DNA sequence: TTGACATTAAAACGTGTGTTTAATACGATA
DNA sequence: TATCGTATTAAACACACGTTTTAATGTCAA
């Protein structure tokens, strides 16, 4: 989408796109309507005309980003019935990381979700039901397939949180990681490397739990 | 410290304490000087008189909280030479979690640090050198003792990030976890339970890596 | 008691924010 | 072309923020 051609674009769409960028970069609170309008090259009153309020714009951006993300990054791309649970776990992790760390339009939702987790707004409940809970359940299914049915639900929950925590840390602590470990990058093959580590670390833990479960 | 006895307290200390609370709850940007002064029951100009600016107050709060935290939660309490690396890891995790999740004065630093990680301010570099890097190195030492000297530094770094990510997730995603898993609480024995899980999960992964290392 | 300095307080300042208002422009239709 | 509904815009509003200013008050030593 070319921002230099105002005559060919609808104002509303431009606000959605600029809003996606700015909210993803800054989060809801720090993002300003003026910055969004500046990027969209529209008058500041347009936000209230088209969206009523900054909050409604944010809600609409979330909806739009969700639609975009659903097709670009499905939750469980490996669920073809042919992959092993181990492979599905690895795919899940790589997929989730890509959403969080990739910097382009389809990544808005991942970034918006990561921000919402640590800086909750009124939209948190909707994001939980729309994205986080399904994510959690999908991952829980994979974990259960690996550790077996004898492992308690509470234990599986803990494992899911451990996996999500590892992944999200690379998003949330990015400035810190950049300072402590400049060799860790965020291009495609680095995301692959990160996913491989998390998958290996996690699989080892899950196999241990699987054996633990079988001892009872 | 009793906020209802203004005559017995110095204004500066009251601002430090109220600032500690508000910055920990809200983060630097969202915290307001007016809220801090309201809690401290002092006039708003006092911040500029005693601390020059909101930023200087923040920096002083960090310093004060750091002093408090250093005695209450030493980094490696198990380093008496008698504990096994496995036990030291468990102690480290429990200790770190306590800092992050316990809600009382000594926890300010952990909470401030957790916030700074996801919402960096000008104080980030200082916090990295003061707290995060030492934390990282301490943990890296423990990890190395478990996996052995043949494991690469890069791999150890990844493991450290995996451990920190698991712990910090409970802090950063607290509102989400509260909604998805209301049975996960944050009292002392719950922190213990969380630490036990993370330690078990992590030890299993590290033992796997230890064996991997020995195969080469 | 006086004077110097420190501290506190109220009011105001300067700037930024999201929102509102009224005027104008635009596009479609009769 | 005129009319009407919609969209856009500039200016203003109301409020919040961190900071400054100024005057009053408190404290302490001589």
Are the beta carbons of A61 and A112 closer than 8 angstroms? yes
pLDDT digits (tens, 9 = 90+) for A43-89: 999 999 999 999 999 999 999 998 887 776 665 555 556 789 999 99
Q: What percent of chain A has pLDDT over 90?
A: 74
Confirm or reject contact between B185 and chain A (CB < 8 A). Answer: no
Q: Nearest-CA residue of chain A relative to B129?
A: A180
Distance CA A142, CA A146 (A): 6
Q: Inspect the interface and report whether the beta carbons of B170 and A165 lie closer than 8 Å.
A: yes
pLDDT at residue A188 in the model: 85
pLDDT digits (tens, 9 = 90+) for B155-191: 999 999 999 999 999 999 999 999 999 999 888 889 9
pLDDT at residue A120 in the model: 95
* Res. A153: pLDDT tops 70: yes
pLDDT digits (tens, 9 = 90+) for B16-73: 999 999 999 999 999 999 999 999 999 999 999 999 999 999 999 999 998 887 776 6
DSSP character for B51?
Answer: H
Confirm or reject contact between A198 and chain B (CB < 8 A). Answer: yes
Q: Interior CA angle at A76 toward A73 and A81, to 5°?
A: 135
Average pLDDT of the residues of chain B? 88
Burial profile B87-114: b = 16 or more Cβ within 10 angstroms, e = fewer:
ebbbbbbbbbbbbbbbeebbbbbbbbbb
pLDDT at residue B106 in the model: 60
- ipTM of the predicted assembly exceeds 0.85: yes
Q: Is the CB of A9 under 7 A from strand D?
A: no
Q: Inspect the interface and report whether the beta carbons of A168 and B170 lie closer than 8 Å.
A: no
Of A132, A168, A194, the CB nearest to B169: A168
Which positions in chain B touch A181 (Cβ < 8 Å)? 157, 161
* Res. A3: pLDDT tops 50: no
Domains of chain B listed by start with CATH number: 6-61 (1.10.10.60), 73-214 (1.10.357.10)
Cα dist from A27 to A12, A21, A56, B158, whole Å: 20, 10, 14, 27
Which has the closest alpha carbon to A94: B154, A83, A152? A83
Cα dist from B164 to A76, B137, B139, B191, whole Å: 26, 12, 9, 15
Which has the closest alpha carbon to B193: B90, B115, B119? B90
User: For residue A47, what are its two tokens?
Assistant: 């936000």
* Res. B152: pLDDT tops 70: yes
What phi and psi, each to the nearest 5 degrees, are found at residue A200? -65, -50
pLDDT digits (tens, 9 = 90+) for B70-115: 776 665 555 556 789 999 999 999 999 998 987 765 678 889 999 9
DSSP A133-183: HHHHHHHHHHHHHHH-TTS-HHHHHHHHHHHHHHHHHHHHTHHHHHHH-TT
Instruction: Give how far A162 is from chain B: nearest CA, Å.
Output: 5
Q: Inspect the interface and report whether the beta carbons of B172 and A172 lie closer than 8 Å.
A: yes
pLDDT at residue A214 in the model: 67
Q: Which residues contact A193 (CB under 8 A, 6 or more apart)?
A: none
Please, which pLDDT band fits residue A113 given cuts at 50, 70 and 90? Answer: very high
**Count of all residues that appear for chain A in the document:** 216
Which positions in chain A touch B205 (Cβ < 8 Å)? 200-202, 204-205
């Amino acid at each position: 989408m070319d921002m230099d051609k105002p005559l060919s674009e609808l104002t509303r769409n431009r606000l959605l796109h600029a809003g996606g960028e700015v909210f993803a970069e800054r989060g809801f609170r720090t993002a300003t309507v003026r910055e969004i309008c500046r990027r969209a090259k529209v008058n500041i009153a347009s936000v209230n005309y088209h969206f009523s309020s900054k909050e409604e714009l944010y809600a609409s951006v979330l909806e739009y980003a969700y639609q975009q993300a659903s097709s670009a990054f499905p939750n469980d791309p490996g669920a073809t019935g042919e992959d092993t649970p181990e492979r599905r776990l690895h795919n899940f992790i790589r997929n989730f990381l890509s959403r969080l760390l990739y910097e382009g339009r389809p990544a808005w939702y991942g970034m918006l979700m990561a921000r919402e987790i640590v800086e909750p707004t009124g939209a948190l409940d909707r994001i939980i039901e729309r994205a986080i809970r399904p994510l959690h359940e999908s991952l829980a299914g994979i974990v259960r397939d690996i550790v077996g049915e004898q492992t308690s639900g509470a234990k599986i929950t803990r494992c899911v949180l451990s996996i999500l925590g590892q992944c999200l840390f690379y998003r949330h602590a990015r400035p810190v990681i950049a300072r402590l470990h400049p060799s860790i990058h965020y291009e495609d093959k680095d995301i692959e490397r990160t996913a491989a580590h998390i998958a290996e670390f996690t699989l080892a833990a899950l196999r241990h739990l699987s054996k633990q479960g079988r001892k009872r």
